[in-house]
Amino acid sequence: MAAMTDAAAHPPRSSDRPVALVTGPTSGLGTSFARLLASQGHDLVLVARDEDRLRALATELETEHGAGTELIVADLATGKGRMMVAARLARGIDVLVNNAGFATPGVFWDTEPELLQAQLAVNVTAVMELTHAALPPMRAAGRGTIINVASVSGLLSGPESAYGAGKAWVVKFSEGLAHQLTGSGVHVQALCPGYMKTEFHSRAGQDASGVPGALWSDPDEVARTGLQDAQKGWAVSVPGWRYKLYTTIDRLKPRRLVWRC
């Protein structure tokens, strides 16, 4: 049965199985990571705002994979929500997937500052604070994996401003930590997917109907690729050969040509 966690109650681990904490697991890539990790023998700590969807996912993971689950209902846009999750991470886990994130609809100058701040809090501040909480016990244990979900928009030059800048921060942050932790047994990765068949674009108010079918990725495959690349010690993972090609070409193009395009 799923255990609920709040700032004052921390249920003990239900088994000696490895434990993975996934933020934003109630849809899309987060669900794919939760299912994949459960199938590989992990117990799960699931973090999201929607308690009903959390409970439904927990029941699925327990029924299909025998995974123990712990639920944390928290809003990562708030300091209180991040502190709740950080407190759980400080007790030690084996895998952290910082997956929660969102994009604001419309252009930067038409978006309310409060919404932009919430996006920054979830996409950047939560990644920093939760990683900071997870690392001490991982380093003490000499093992652990942290996957920070970024985006190809953090690697490509283009019109994205606030969202792309946040994801670029996640990439640089993860790369720097990965190199600092070399030889420690702890691996940090920035996972940079492209378009995925999830709720992300509709929630962001984006019309993605014109995106060619070949550019759409399966979130299950993205999760598998990210986890495999993390186990190989890759600091940055770009699933899909097309996105690997695009990001490589983008790095080679003169800056003035990028902006003319």
Taken in order of first residue, the domains within the chain and their CATH numbers are 3-260 (3.40.50.720)
Lowest mean pLDDT among 56-65, 135-144, 155-164, 185-194: 155-164
- Answer with the residue of higher pLDDT: 126 or 196: 126
pLDDT number for residue 13 = 46
Q: Which one is catalytic: 163, 195, 243, 246?
A: 163
Name every residue whose Cβ is closer than 8 Å to that of residue 86 and which is 6 or more positions away in sequence.
Answer: 129, 130, 132, 133
pTM greater than 0.85:
yes
- Answer with the residue of higher pLDDT: 194 or 57: 57
What average pLDDT does this structure show over 174-194? 96
- Number of Cβ atoms within 10 Å of the Cβ of 19: 23
H or E element that contains 251: helix 241-252
Rounded CA-CA distance 34/27 in Å is: 10
3-state secondary structure 84-97: HHHHHHCCCCCEEE
**pLDDT, tens digit, 9 for 90 and up, residues 198-221:** 555 556 455 555 666 666 679 999
pLDDT of 151 higher than 80 = yes
Name every residue whose Cβ is closer than 8 Å to that of residue 129 and which is 6 or more positions away in sequence.
Answer: 82, 86
Q: At what angle do helices 126-141 and 79-89 cross, to 10 degrees?
A: 10
Name every residue whose Cβ is closer than 8 Å to that of residue 204 and which is 6 or more positions away in sequence.
Answer: 102, 103, 104, 105
Lowest mean pLDDT among 61-70, 88-97, 189-198: 189-198
Rounded CA-CA distance 71/75 in Å is: 13
Active site residue 163: yes
pLDDT number for residue 243 = 76
Place 165 in a pLDDT band, splitting at 50, 70 and 90. Answer: very high
**pLDDT, tens digit, 9 for 90 and up, residues 4-35:** 664 333 344 446 899 999 999 999 999 999 99
pLDDT number for residue 9 = 36
- Lookup: tokens for 202: 């509709």
Give the chain's mean pLDDT: 87
